[in-house]
Amino acid sequence: MNQKPLSELFDLTGKVAVVTGGTGIQGTRITRGLAAYGADIAVVDLDETTVTGLADEISEEYGVKTLGVVCDVSDPDAVNRMVADTVKALGGIHVLHNNAATKTDDLEKFFAPFENFDFETWRKIMNVNLDGMFLVVQAVGKQMIKQGQGGSIIQTSSTYGVAGPDFRIYEGSEYLGHQITTPVAYAASKAGVVGLTRYLATYWGDKGIRVNTLVPGGIESGQNETFQKNYGARTPLGRMAHVDEMVGAVVYLASDASSYMTGQMIVVDGGWTAW
């Protein structure tokens, strides 16, 4: 194997990266992080104005090729069109950050206690968080196999995909005016992401396609002061995460710096799961 200069291990020049949920809290920064290291970017999300606007901003800021793609990841036809459009516009797909997730439009139902959790809401969450992840990784994986160059797939889980919630932190906690908790459908879907990742890492290993999981801790995103205080008290580093603290892990997993890493989790949680 030819060794790259160590200074080039994180270089993504010539790679095309697809980021689903690309205009969300994490996606907005991760798309920029991948572009900063040279990747051409397909920003994938639901709103045309938003994805196009972010793609244009990234192109102007980093001088890379970009594409904004509207795609409902729970729709197989839309996913296939997204892959075809990306390949046509950018020349291929080498990196996937499989990141789309949903809270649904009804936060009251989303944060309902387990005993009263609505099955229709369960299905809506699973339809995006797990079914959508399956559809995207299947379609992109097919494209990577066709290209014959391997690839890197990074799927977003959560600490609640690998550990049970500490429900004490939710006393007096709010998000966008709603009393919050960790919904059962969210935790179950994020646990499924870890299993899907491990399966695909072994299934596609001989194709040179690496599949790993990013496991973020809680990120500051509009929670009230009570929740942030409770969360910090439960975390060795004493605070919630800032969104940019997820970017380095994704760049690492996307790049040749992690070329011998597959089927693994990178847990970026301030030590939450160490206790």
Q: Which of 62, 160, 175, 186 is catalytic?
A: 186
Nearest 5°: the CA angle 28, 32, 159 is: 55
Contact between 49 and 245 (Cβ < 8 Å): no
Secondary structure (3-state) at 28: helix
The answer to whether the beta carbons of residues 96 and 166 sit under 8 Å apart is no
Q: What is the DSSP letter of 177?
A: T
Q: Is 186 a catalytic residue?
A: yes
C-alpha torsion sign, points 30, 36, 40, 43: positive
Active site residues: 186
